[in-house]
Structure 1
């Protein structure tokens, strides 16, 4: 979640700047200016950040398949690094020469709609209503004032991976993972293995793999903002959750937490792979690292434990959308490509080849049955698909575009010990309320 917050804040800041620039708002498509190749096909420029040796061939195969499926449109792929793509997109929009399709963060789609950076897609959806293809939570995140400004492409969720052999070693049933926070803590203490003052194995640490905000979401079953965009973070339950999270750090100590975090960051030397960490909350794509670096690991996967019995196993997810930037000269052709990109065939192909959660429900369910997955792969992917039913997104409200930048520093101060949980929550409540007042 933290990576998403970084570029959401960046996009929000640039949006506020560029929205005041001369010539920023451009018109919709202009067929007169549309690029046409020597074969008479409309050429559209498709920007992504998928440049790895795994993902680039997959997206380019989808593009090739689309180009060969019809004789009116040619899609050209432009790769830009993750840290550059959205700043360059905003600059291109401001200059009146944007790409025709761009992959963008789903949680800031409404913000881009408000700032006229992404095109209102209602003109296309009136003719081709494809909204039912997607998980409702994802579709709703694309809406601003009732209209969609992006079509969901892929997504994710958060689940709990656990080491079955470690469970057996300490007398825990490997087929009965923890279901509540109380059990999670009980199991972790049993799974801890110490040699003197050092840990040979840590049972679990809640802030490896996911952040404090996911635990707050899990406990409350909703984000800080309700359906009417009322903001609430300063609550007794949130105070309890933060204090609970800090007890884990106090128990293990900063040196252990930092040492394990360094191993986690190395990926290949991840402590879960060699049994030094018994449980970790992660996105389902974590399985690909297990597959590559610890193929013999005996592990299981389950939904995040619930705050208390009956509270619900709420999880968090993000994702990306395919957008037509405001000012695209080839909007109709771009729409045809987006329909293909988010339909079952392309979505299932992306899901299976990348082991990635995708937005199209039918494609996700088909991918879960793929014979290209191993037994372990099928187990994890089926859990990922099932978990979408209890996965929430946290779209950035247009009234508080950079609210997380006001909350995170307070939480950092709390975990460092320079603020109490109550102080951190009170300050966060006040800071965000003041931001909302500025934007109303």
Structure 2
């Protein structure tokens, strides 16, 4: 009887002593894992390429410390932001979410994203990022999101086609006039059809990008006053319409259907000599036309000295209003937007990142082939010319009013003058209504 009672007591004492002496099974952090703060991170990166990259960044953070555990939740592109708003309303939002940079100020104004000023007072990381990106996160001087990635628009051109047309393959068009002249030489017409088109400005981008390119101005001035009905915009749309008349609706629509198919993009097989798109378009060239001899350049200037203005967007990491763990969320966001994680994302995804140092490192990274480096460096260089178009808080969803007017102009339903006038009046009414 005595021995049966003594043995359990002996083992209890042994377990207590071994615990006090620091003897633990497995990793030393495992005993503390229950004390970690778990934060929920939402993104729409669920593809077979991007999902492993973001999961590795999350895993690196989780392994770097023993206080916070990040759980990555994939929410599809079409659902993530409506679900986030519903979660905020239900007072159960994620702790970090990836969101559109151009509407960051609007979400700050609507109290959907958390004001990050209290974190930035302690950890001012604003100098990590391109100024244009950082400014897009501000509402009344405070940031409501930290830039993660971005993009820009550049010109891709077929060097083989240039040689066939007698053009210097190392000298892309520098102005709108040269762009037209080059296209004339690059066009190959067979009767009423084209075997090759030199260029068409509305493939890859819309007319608003060329309006921005023409004079470097957005649809609003510094005071938030709409400035869409301008002489520069009228002349830009006249220039766009000249291209439309040059090729005709049938040819344009036929090519557009091929472009929309991605894999059958006519730029891949030489039927389109010049094309504007984001630098990440290169990954499609790499996949579908690996032997294509191409070059990249900044968007041509409207005229010498007017500037190679391009347009960009991107995404930010936000802490939704109502997050239960904002301090821990902030620690993860710092990791997500620091040099190491950003460079890893850039190299593995061939994506433009917001962190300047990481972008510069990526362009020199040994994992990037030489062709990749050329395109990526052009993307970096073009950031100096790239403007974002943040949604004004007093004119939300303004493009839903502008785009139908631009479409009416391009379809011949309205004159350029009438369409821009109507767009201007619509924006003025929207602003007046918002007051």
TM over 0.5: yes
Match of 2:393 among 392, 398, 405: 398
> C-alpha distance in 2, partners of 1:319/1:106?
5
Q: Counterpart in 2 of 1:141? A: 136
Number of matched residues?
A: 404
Does the CA contact (< 8 Å) of 2:215 and 2:307 recur in 1?
A: no
Is 1:74 aligned to residue 69 of structure 2?
Answer: yes
Q: Counterpart in 1 of 2:315? A: 320
Is 1:302 aligned to residue 297 of structure 2?
Answer: yes
Cα deviation 1:121-173 (Å, max 9, x = unaligned) = 00100000000000000000000000000000000000000000000001000
Q: Counterpart in 2 of 1:283? A: 278
Would you identify which runs of 4 or more consecutive aligned residues in structure 1 move more than 2 Å? none
> C-alpha distance in 2, partners of 1:61/1:261?
38
Match of 2:127 among 116, 132, 147: 132
> C-alpha distance in 2, partners of 1:376/1:210?
24
The equivalences for 1:228-267 within 5 A come to: 228-267=223-262
Q: Counterpart in 1 of 2:43? A: 48
CA RMSD in angstroms comes to 0.8
Shift of 1:39: 2.5
> C-alpha distance in 2, partners of 1:221/1:409?
22
> C-alpha distance in 2, partners of 1:137/1:227?
14
Cα deviation 1:265-304 (Å, max 9, x = unaligned) = 1111110000000000010000000001100000000000
Does the CA contact (< 8 Å) of 2:279 and 2:379 recur in 1?
A: yes
Q: Report the TM-score when normalising by structure 1.
A: 0.91
Give the secondary structure class of the aligned counterpart of 2:279. coil
Q: Counterpart in 2 of 1:422? A: 417
Q: Counterpart in 1 of 2:83? A: 88
Is 1:269 aligned to residue 228 of structure 2?
Answer: no
Q: Counterpart in 2 of 1:215? A: 210
Shift of 1:228: 1.6
Structure ID, larger Rg: 2
Match of 2:345 among 345, 350, 367: 350
> C-alpha distance in 2, partners of 1:276/1:409?
30
Cα deviation 1:360-385 (Å, max 9, x = unaligned) = 00001111111212221111000000
Match of 2:382 among 381, 387, 402: 387
Greater CA deviation, 83-92 or 241-250? 241-250
Give the secondary structure class of the aligned counterpart of 1:57. helix
Unaligned stretches of 5+ residues in structure 1: 1-36
Unaligned stretches of 5+ residues in structure 2: 1-31
Shift of 1:322: 0.0
Q: Report the TM-score when normalising by structure 2.
A: 0.92
> C-alpha distance in 1, partners of 2:165/2:248?
23
Q: Counterpart in 2 of 1:185? A: 180
Cα deviation 1:347-406 (Å, max 9, x = unaligned) = 000000000000000001111111212221111000000000110000000000011111
> C-alpha distance in 1, partners of 2:354/2:377?
15
> C-alpha distance in 2, partners of 1:404/1:266?
26
> C-alpha distance in 2, partners of 1:302/1:268?
23
> C-alpha distance in 2, partners of 1:241/1:227?
22
Does the CA contact (< 8 Å) of 2:151 and 2:313 recur in 1?
A: yes
Q: Counterpart in 2 of 1:374? A: 369
Give the secondary structure class of the aligned counterpart of 1:285. helix
The equivalences for 1:358-369 within 5 A come to: 358-369=353-364
